Amino acid sequence: MPPRIQTPPSAVASILRCKRTSLRSRQYATAAAIATPAAGHHQIPNIPEPIARFPPTQPPSFKPPQFRKSQLLRQYASLLRSTPLMLLFQHNNLTATEWVGVRRELTKALQKVDATLVAEGHVSQNIASGVKIQIIQTGIFGAALRVVEYFKPEAQQSGFTHSLSAAAHEAAVNQRTAHGLSPLLSGPLVVLSIPTVSPQHLKAALSILAPNQPNFPAPTRKANPGYHDLSVQAGLAKLMLLGARVEGRVFDVEGTRWVGGIPGGLDGLRGQLVNMLQSIGAGVTNTLESASKNLYFTVESRRTMLEDEEKGEAPKA
């Protein structure tokens, strides 16, 4: 094996010294090129534009808007303002499999109602796609409810009238027990939101989530075998209906079932109202006619008596 070539230490030191000198010269040249402006051009400093104190996309808030709680409050407030029909349930730690089964059966029942209404000649609204069931943060939902109920943006003088503003906080902070839903906002809650007041869809939802004989019967095993799966039944056993919020009004369990049991839905309710108004009108007409007839007979009998007296005839008994 041939001997290795030995490099003298002085040669190694010379090579390293040359590399350091070359690297340093390149760094100085780059820095000089950056610092020295080009000939014939004036260097204009790059001054950033001033940042607006309150940009329109992020108005001032009572609490920092980047927090998750703040975003949840905005989400719940928007849901309360846009949803006329909302049901409250208490839940007890449903598993993911149980939630999947419950949502599946609820969607099937609501889609069946949509198909039935279309078959009866109604315009297709596809309400089932807008129905949502979700777990909520109870405390934040209560705060959003108070903001929606007691904060009136149109009465504010300032331009910042969003749900996170200081004015909204001042309007809702002292109303913790004033709302009718306040006694129900305790413990783990689930909200079922329906985008329109439809008694038919409400009845279908109650028949799945809170069945009650005889008006809200659960699907039979023959008609819907999936409803009787163990996971679905275990999930439904952990749900308890507490009440509802319909067009801003609070209903208890019995009131909620009354809304869902209106025959014919809103059309049936309108028909009942028309019949009631017609019956009231007929009663008023009959009352007025009877009063006018009695007055007419009284006047006629008095006129006949006066004519007989003028003729000198004795009045008839």
User: Of 23-27, 140-144, 239-243, which gets the smallest average pLDDT?
Assistant: 23-27
Note the Cα 169 to chain centre separation in Å.
20
- Angle formed at CA 142 by CA 251 and CA 166, multiple of 5 degrees: 130
pLDDT at 122 over 90: no
Residues 163, 274: Cα–Cα separation, whole Å: 40
Q: How many CB atoms lie within 10 A of CB 218?
A: 19
Average pLDDT over residues 197-222: 92
What are the b/e assignments for 165-179, b being 16+ CB within 10 Å?
bebbbebbeebeeeb
Question: CATH top-level class for 68-262?
Answer: alpha beta
43 CB contacts (<8 Å, ≥6 apart)?
Answer: 37
The predicted-structure confidence for 217-255, as pLDDT tens digits, reads as follows 999 999 999 999 999 999 999 999 999 999 888 999 999
High-pLDDT (> 90) share of the chain, %:
35
Contact present, 151 and 168 (Cβ < 8 Å): yes
DSSP 219: P
Q: Which residue has the higher pLDDT, 51 or 213?
A: 213
pLDDT at 28 over 50: no
Residues 161, 60: Cα–Cα separation, whole Å: 10
User: Of 61-65, 224-228, 241-245, 291-295, which gets the smallest average pLDDT?
Assistant: 61-65
Q: How many CB atoms lie within 10 A of CB 112?
A: 14
Mean pLDDT of the chain: 77
Average pLDDT over residues 269-285: 59
Alpha-helical regions (H) of the chain = 9-35, 68-82, 96-119, 138-150, 166-172, 199-209, 230-237, 253-260, 265-310
Nearest CA to 259 out of 309, 215, 292, 311 is that of: 215
Confidence grade of residue 166 (pLDDT, cut at 50, 70, 90): confident
pTM of the model: 0.64
The full set of domain ranges for the chain reads 68-262, 263-311
